[in-house]
Amino acid sequence: MTTHVLFRGPQSRNDNWQTLFADALPDVTWHHWPHVENKAAIELMIVWKLPRDYQQDYPNLKVIFSVGAGVDQLDLASVPEHIQVVRMLDPGITKGMSEFIAMHVLNIHRDTFSYINANKNATWQQIPTIPSKKRRVGIFGLGHLGQAAAKRF
């Protein structure tokens, strides 16, 4: 029995995913949106965001795989109970996101953006440095990414 998978994303990523699936699961029939002849055959969907009419368009959908850093971009309240949502975890995403967060916290802490604007305006004025022990950093949520960001600090 063939499983039909739909990938909704850019062509370059589609090519990578399709190659990985072909090597690991040769019985999978791969589809890249919007080129889907038989939408009723789709059982698995790999997405960043859900298409508006996915429930009507893909009546046999069983699993949604989120390729985002989380699933916040998905309206989980709209997903029927018979469809599973899988949050795919990639250690590279966690590492990259925690580095991205740390970079921005340090940029704010060291007034990098003020210095960039001063450079653009050809003005210079030293900004007093505030010791890091006098700064507070808040993290909204200590899920997988929140914990990784907290550990990085």
pLDDT at 84: 92
pLDDT at 94: 83
pLDDT at 45: 94
pLDDT in tens, 99-120: 999 999 999 999 999 999 999 9
Compute the half-sphere exposure of residue 152: CA atoms within 13 Å on the CB side of its CA.
Answer: 22
In the predicted structure, residue 81 carries a pLDDT above the cut 80: yes
Domain boundaries, the chain: 3-88, 92-152
Structural contact between residues 87 and 70, judged by C-beta atoms closer than 8 angstroms: yes
In the predicted structure, residue 70 carries a pLDDT above the cut 90: no
pLDDT at 16: 87
> pLDDT averaged over the chain?
88
Question: Which one of 3.40.50.720, 3.40.50.300, 3.20.20.140, 3.40.190.10 gives the CATH number of domain 3-88?
Answer: 3.40.50.720
In the predicted structure, residue 62 carries a pLDDT above the cut 90: yes
pLDDT in tens, 8-53: 988 888 888 899 888 888 889 999 998 889 999 999 999 988 888 8
In the predicted structure, residue 127 carries a pLDDT above the cut 70: yes
In the predicted structure, residue 89 carries a pLDDT above the cut 80: no
